[in-house]
Chain A
Amino acid sequence: MKYKSQKVAYWAFALSMLLIILQITYGFIQAFAHLGYDGLHEWIPFNTSMAVHKNLLVVWILSGFMGAAYYIIPDESDNELYKPILAYIQLGALAVVGVIAVVGFHFNWWEGRKFLEIPRELDFLVVVDVLLFLFVILMTLWKGKQRTTTAMILSVGLLAAALLYLPGMIWFDNHALDSFFRWWVVHLWVEGVWELIMGGILAYLLIKLTGVDREVIEKWLYVIVGLTFLSGILGTGHHYYFTGAPSYWLIVGGIFSALEPLAFMGMALFAINMYNKGEKRHPNKVAVKWTLGTAIVSFAGAGLLGLAHTIPQVNLYTHGTFVTAMHGHLAFWGAYGMIVFAIITYVMPNVTGRKIYNNALGNYAFWISLIGMLGMVTAFGAMGVAQVTLERRLGLDFMTVQQELHSHFWVLVITASIFTTGILLYVWNFMKYGLPTDEAIGMEDEFKTI
């Protein structure tokens, strides 16, 4: 690393590691409940495990993005982070709010709104926390010696993500209106501004890992984020097909959702091309794997598996079934989980000074988690198709069909165990790096042989 303050990133990443393990734990509780093993029902009913599973996902990914920004922005703007103490306070507060929210979910303290279950009172603390984060990042940029495209795209993405949280805080008496604006947050995050953040991190990693000229990488970054918004904004319409909104969303949502894979395809081709152009001499090969992996898997999960059910004629039957879970898992893992793992893998040797990149543990973690997740997605896909056929096409009763899905859930549990093994190996490797140290300042040059 170049600057002492970049060490903050480590703590954000450590929080992500802790939370992903908790998220997975609650995922297992859910899978077993589906299989009829609901011994925890008294203390952790299904809606609690669901709220925890989804919110921890959002928080660990946001924490990963924050860590990425705390590392990237000082480097790109050639400047120490503005008042690093504020960054530590902000991360600590995020962890505290997260813990309070998760505990609250066990005591019926929440809002019944998928992905945005954090109760309104805590929402205000989230807003203050994110404002503090943005203050540190934007002041660092402002005081910096340079403002690169990569840093700007990343910061605009983070700022827009914060602003888009606000429509989700308005109360509507009409449930359909509430649903309408809930997607302004959730969709415009994951299929909009989060992609800016992902694109910014991806561009940074490609610049560092391939050695390709910054101007070339940043030019294509504009094209890709342009494609994202071109398709993604009106693509929001695929959430409005059957939720009380006018039928014109079926046409507009259908057409623009069909274009959404283009942005992800652009991202995948971009990463592969830059890698091919590059010199391939950077020693952190595992970081290269995660970087190319996120670009390719997000195309498969967010792009193609999304397209598989956003066609309105298909969605009429798949809406509200496990087909959605199939898409959701690979999309979140490919696009956002893997980009966070990519930046962590790149940053760890730089902040700790330990050169244990490209070790067996790191490689196994990548492949085992990827294979496990592909297996999970296959299990979700199979159970989704079975559910759609039996319940939606043949009209069998909900619970009758659920019991027919048990074999698929066992496959899910097995493949999720493989995935978890990969994640645990990754976390173990993370711990082996040890704590960040000032001695690592300036060692980055030693690591980059290109």
Chain B
Amino acid sequence: MLSKKQALLFFLGGTLLFSIIFIVMSIDTVSRGIPAHTHEENMTAQVIHGRVLWDENNCMGCHTLMGEGAYYAPELTKVYDRLGPDVMKAILTSKVPWAPNGRKMVAYGFSNEDAEGLIAFLKWTGEIDLNGYPATPPLKNKLK
């Protein structure tokens, strides 16, 4: 039967081993994987400005980006392809709440410069290699 000491060794050994594997994988992901997948070379000052605004206004408190965030408002990873920069700019600079089907977005009334930063940021996220996410709806063609 397992002794308490053996149980302790199982805990310490397993934790140490899997922590090391995790850290090695993380180093590879951070140094090589994410920069390549996100095309870090395209992260201009404008993209970073948009990223700061994304963070400051807690956009993921309503939206999802790369599938992460809240489920109150649409997923925005591919929003640049879906709406295009002109519609996005109209929404971001609007002084009255944008409310498709009655669900309100905060009327941020961003300046032109800020709106362009956010649009650049969302264009950049749309180009990230997300391992196939978001998937093309598999049953869409069967509806017709």
Contact = CB atoms under 8 A, between A and B. Distances in A.
B68 A320 contact: yes
Nearest to A320: B67
Given A36-B102, A215-B4, A47 B74 contact: no
Contacts of B33: 245-246
A47 B18 CA distance: 36
Contacts of A243: 66-68, 130
Contacts of A399: 74, 100-101, 103
A252 B54 CA distance: 30
A442 B108 CA distance: 60
Interface in A229-243: 229-230, 233-234, 236, 240-243
Report the contact-size class of chain B (Cβ under 8 Å from the partner).
35 or more
B66 A394 contact: no
Contact of B15 (A46, A108, A112, A229): A229
A393 interface: yes
B55 A174 contact: no
Interface in A374-393: 387, 391-393
Q: How would you classify the secondary structure of chain A's contact residues: helix, strand, loop or mixed?
A: helix
B29 interface: yes
Given A46-B61, A47-B70, A50-B61, A244 B137 contact: no
Report the contact-size class of chain A (Cβ under 8 Å from the partner).
35 or more
Contact of A179 (B32, B61, B66): B66
Contacts of A319: 67, 133
A109 to B, nearest CB: 9
A233, A391, A403: most-surrounded residue (chain B CB, <10 A): A233
Contact of A244 (B4, B32, B34): B34
Contacts of A233: 15, 18-19, 21-22
Given A223-B11, A244-B129, 10 more contacts: A47-B70, A114-B68, A117-B61, A173-B48, A175-B51, A175-B65, A226-B7, A320-B68, A320-B71, A399-B101
